[in-house]
């Protein structure tokens, strides 16, 4: 897999947190709910964006950023509420990761947007994808309790990530997020 | 006796997934089924017992590509039941919102979903690697639509500002200015898009379609109108149930629509263009004339040109409305519930979308009926495929399969409007 294409002229230090999903299908709203909890609680340099599955908006949201964190619901067969973590773009867009990320109801998958962003030279400097395993994606269903708990946990972890003092060598910064072990490298 | 079997794991670049089975024997197609699995009527059941104010928001969730269409058909059906009328600048704002959705949807289909078929790429992503500027141009066009929808609807996808009777809040002239600036550039891109797609190599195929589209005396119908057909017999939207009937077919959970008893009519851009092209904006008509599109379009592969012309029209008309816009006195007219049935129809990017609601005296939905464009086109798509496949059964399997996929994609089938998460295969035997 090639090195991610970075966008020329990006603003140093700019970060975006993108919640991806749909409100009509139960646990599919997990990503949206995380960023709703985060709105107005993160440092001013961190943009918080909701996305209902529009690839052009997704690519625009992360174009020119140093770091983009995308949160989405996943259906991979893991226990509901499990958090999947990909800090390696190839892990999401490559063959290994694609199936579970296509489990959402979005018409144009996240992996497609990453591939399109790469082809257009419009990927963020670093892309982290956090998936929350959903259980019920039925139209009109409420979010299930394990997913709701995972949403709250992820929002808390995100605030910690952006506000906690950095301790060099203590641990990888993404370790704050529970991980199912199917995702990234370090 | 000879048999032929074609199987494809999925049809990409349509909204949702479906399954197509074709059976052939001794060079003749003996059976062809476009199958749709998931029950499409869930939303109708979900709406029963809900307040008459809720259908615009609930039905907008049926499709991520055309939520405005669902909102507009729902609003108009309920307003019709309740005896309310939305006119003047409020109606203009609805038109603006709808034009935004047409630009979003058509730009996505033309550039990322359909053009790759003509240029020999398996996807828009593959095309982007070689034609980055073209794809960026398509995305910029789509963005102009997104900006317009966001300016009126509150956000670019699944607008939250629409309500029965109008809007929660109306934009000021100043708030529409940035969207207008984008639209001016988009209009130029749209004109260039017409020339670009008209230069593609189109198979020489024409069908004798029965077209159905809304028709409006004052405009190229999008938001409202009466129903026009190429049979010459038009009817009012409230007469829809007497003319359009739906039937269950064994191979699909989506209902197949019949027009005056006969299956296989077509809705969508080609129907709109063929019935109403004289009402396109002057610039859109000029763009169509320059590529010799003619007054009618009966070649489904040329549907991409019609979509491009409709983008020009949408940009042009949206700019005209913005230039003449005056803020309405009130963001919405009152819509008091009463026991009645209301009908509403509008032109979704993919074709006529009909809603009917029966409301009880308490303002609760007693019955809902939604007829999306793709289920109306489904029988016609099957007929197209039959005509396409039968004389080409000798072609290599891969080639025939690719042709079937292209033929289906011509109609931009938002199968998720008919039924969600379809698993589309192409099988021929």
- Could you give the C-alpha distances from B232 to B147, B265, B371, B377, in angstroms and in order? 38, 13, 22, 19
Q: Which of A23, A51, A116 sits opposite B125 (nearest CB)?
A: A116
- Note whether residue A8 is domain-resident: no
Res A75 pLDDT > 60: yes
For chain A, how far is it from start to end, CA to CA, in angstroms?
A: 18
Interchain proximity A120–B15, CB inside 8 Å: no
Does A100 score more than 60 pLDDT? no
A1 touches chain B (CB under 8 A): no
Spans of chain B, pLDDT less than 50: 1-3, 5-16, 37-40, 416-429
Residues of A in contact with B158 (CB under 8 A): 22-23, 52
What distance in Å separates the CA atoms of residue B40 and residue A185, rounded to the nearest whole number? 42
Q: For residue A2, is it within any domain?
A: no
Domain holding A145, by residue range, is 15-176
Domain boundary assignment for chain B: 42-377
pLDDT single digits (tens) A116-146:
899 999 999 999 989 899 888 877 789 999 9
Domain contains A6: no
Q: Measured between CB atoms, does B156 come within 8 Å of chain A? A: yes
Identify the pLDDT of residue A13: 61
Please write down the HEC assignment for all residues of chain B. CCEECECCCCCCCCECCCEEEEEEECCEEEEEEEECCCCCCHHHHHHCCCECCCHHHHHHHHCCCCHHHHHHHHHHHHHHHHCCCCCHHHHHHHHHHHHHHHHHHHHHHHHHHHHHHHHCCCCHHHHHHHCHHHHHHHHHHHHHHHHHHHHHHCCCCCCCCEECCEECCCCCHHHHHHHHHHHHHHHHHHHHHHHHHHCCCCCCCCCCCCEEEEEECCECCCCCCEEEECCCCCECHHHHHHHEEEEECCCCCCEEEEECCEECCECCHHHHHHHHHHHCCHHHHHHHHHCCCCCCCCCHHHHHHHHHHHHHHHHHHHHHHHHHCCCCCCCECCCCCCCEEEEEEEEECCEEEEEEEEECCCCEEEEEEEECHHHHHHHHHHHHHHHHHHHHCCCCHHHHHHHHHHHHHCCCCEHHHHCCCCCCCEEEC
Quote the pLDDT of residue A184: 42
Domain with residue A99: its CATH number is: 3.40.50.1450
Query: In this structure, is residue A3 part of a structural domain?
Result: no
Q: Domain for residue A54, yes or no?
A: yes
Chain A interface test: which of B64, B66, B124 (most A C-beta within 10 Å) = B64
User: In this structure, what token pair is assigned to residue A164?
Assistant: 């906690």
CA atoms within 13 A on the CB side of A58: 27
Among chain B residues, CA nearest to A138: B42
In this predicted model, what pLDDT tens digit does every residue of B262-271 receive, in sequence order? Answer: 888 999 999 9
Q: What is the pLDDT of residue A167?
A: 53
pLDDT at position A182 over 80: no
At A40, is the secondary structure helix, strand, or coil?
coil
Domain count, chain A: 1
Residue A171, pLDDT > 90, answer no
pLDDT reported for residue B19? 67
Q: Using CA atoms, how far apart are residues B366 and A83, in angstroms rounded to an integer?
A: 41
In CATH, what class is B42-377? mainly alpha
Between residues A91 and A72, the one the model is more confident about = A72
The interface pTM score, or ipTM, of the predicted complex is 0.78
Q: Which residues of B touch A22 (CB under 8 A)?
A: 61, 64, 158
% of chain A at pLDDT higher than 90:
35
pLDDT of A104 above 50:
no
Residues 50-89 of A with CB under 8 A from B: 50-54, 56-57, 59-60
B64 touches chain A (CB under 8 A): yes
Residues B44, B366: Cα–Cα separation, whole Å: 10
Cα–Cα distance measured from residue B276 to residue B270, given in angstroms and rounded to the nearest whole number:
10
pLDDT of residue B328: 95
Name the closest residue on chain A to residue B17, using Cα atoms. Answer: A107
The confidence score (pLDDT) of residue A186 equals 33
* Residue A142 in domain: yes
Q: How far is B27 from chain A (nearest CA, A)?
A: 37
pLDDT at B13: 40
Residue B323 exposed, middle or buried by CB count within 10 Å (0-12, 13-18, 19+): exposed
pLDDT at B54: 93
Query: What pLDDT digit, counting tens, does each position of A9-44 carry?
Result: 444 468 999 998 887 778 989 999 999 999 999 998
C-alpha closest to that of B62 among B80, B81, B47: B47
């Amino acid at each position: 897999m090639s090195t991610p294409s970075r966008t020329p002229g990006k603003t140093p230090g700019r970060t975006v947190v993108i919640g991806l999903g749909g409100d009509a299908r139960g646990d599919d709203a997990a990503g949206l709910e995380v960023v709703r909890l985060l709105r107005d609680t993160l440092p001013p340099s961190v943009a918080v964006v909701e996305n209902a599955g529009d690839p052009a908006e997704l690519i625009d949201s992360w174009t020119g950023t140093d770091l983009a964190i995308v949160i989405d619901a996943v259906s991979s067969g893991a226990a509901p509420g499990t958090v999947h973590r990909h800090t390696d773009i190839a892990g999401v867009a490559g063959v290994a990761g694609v199936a579970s990320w296509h489990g959402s109801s979005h018409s144009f998958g996240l992996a497609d947007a990453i591939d399109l962003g790469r082809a257009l030279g419009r990927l963020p400097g670093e892309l982290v994808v956090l998936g929350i395993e959903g259980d019920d994606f039925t139209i009109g269903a409420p979010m299930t309790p394990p997913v709701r708990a995972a949403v709250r946990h992820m929002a808390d972890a995100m605030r910690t990530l952006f506000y906690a003092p950095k301790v060099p060598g203590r641990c990888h910064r993404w370790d704050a997020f529970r991980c199912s072990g199917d995702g990234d490298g370090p | 006796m000879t048999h032929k079997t074609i199987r494809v794991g999925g049809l990409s670049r349509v909204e949702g997934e479906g399954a197509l089975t074709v059976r052939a024997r001794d060079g003749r197609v003996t059976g062809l089924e476009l199958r749709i699995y998931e029950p499409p009527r869930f939303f109708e059941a979900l709406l029963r017992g809900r307040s008459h104010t809720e259908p615009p928001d609930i039905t907008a969730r049926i499709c991520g590509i055309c939520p405005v269409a669902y909102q507009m058909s729902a609003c108009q059906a309920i307003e019709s039941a309740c005896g309310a009328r939305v006119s003047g600048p409020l109606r203009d704002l609805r038109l603006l919102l709808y034009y935004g959705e047409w630009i979003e949807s058509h730009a996505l289909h033309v550039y990322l979903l359909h053009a790759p078929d003509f240029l020999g790429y398996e996807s828009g992503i593959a095309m982007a690697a070689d034609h980055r500027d073209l794809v960026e141009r398509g995305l910029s066009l789509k963005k102009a639509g997104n900006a317009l929808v966001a300016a009126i609807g509150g956000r670019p996808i699944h607008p939250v500002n629409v309500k029965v009777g109008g809007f929660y809040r109306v934009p000021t002239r100043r708030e529409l200015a940035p969207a207008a600036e984008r639209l001016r550039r988009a209009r130029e891109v749209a004109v260039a898009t017409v020339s670009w797609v008209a230069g593609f190599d189109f198979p020489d195929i024409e069908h004798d379609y029965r077209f159905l589209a809304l028709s409006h005396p004052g405009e190229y119908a999008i938001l409202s109108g009466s129903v026009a057909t190429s049979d010459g017999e038009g009817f009012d939207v409230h007469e829809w149930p007497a003319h359009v009937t739906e039937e269950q077919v064994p191979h699909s959970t989506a209902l197949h629509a019949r027009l005056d008893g006969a299956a296989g009519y077509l809705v969508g851009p080609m129907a709109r263009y063929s019935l109403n092209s004289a009402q396109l904006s002057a610039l859109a008509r000029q763009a169509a004339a320059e590529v010799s599109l003619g007054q009618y379009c009966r070649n489904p592969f040329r549907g991409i040109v019609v979509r491009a012309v409709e983008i020009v029209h949408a940009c042009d008309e949206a700019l005209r409305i913005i230039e003449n816009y005056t803020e309405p006195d009130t963001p919405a007219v009152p819509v008091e519930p009463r026991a009645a049935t209301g009908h509403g129809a509008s032109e979704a990017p993919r074709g006529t979308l009909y809603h009917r609601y029966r409301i009880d005296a308490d303002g609760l939905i007693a019955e809902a009926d939604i007829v999306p464009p793709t289920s109306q086109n489904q029988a016609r798509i099957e007929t197209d495929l039959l005509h396409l496949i039968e004389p080409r059964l000798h072609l290599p399997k891969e080639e025939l399969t690719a042709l079937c996929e292209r033929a289906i994609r011509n109609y931009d089938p938002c199968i998720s409007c008919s039924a969600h998460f379809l698993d589309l295969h192409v099988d021929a035997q």
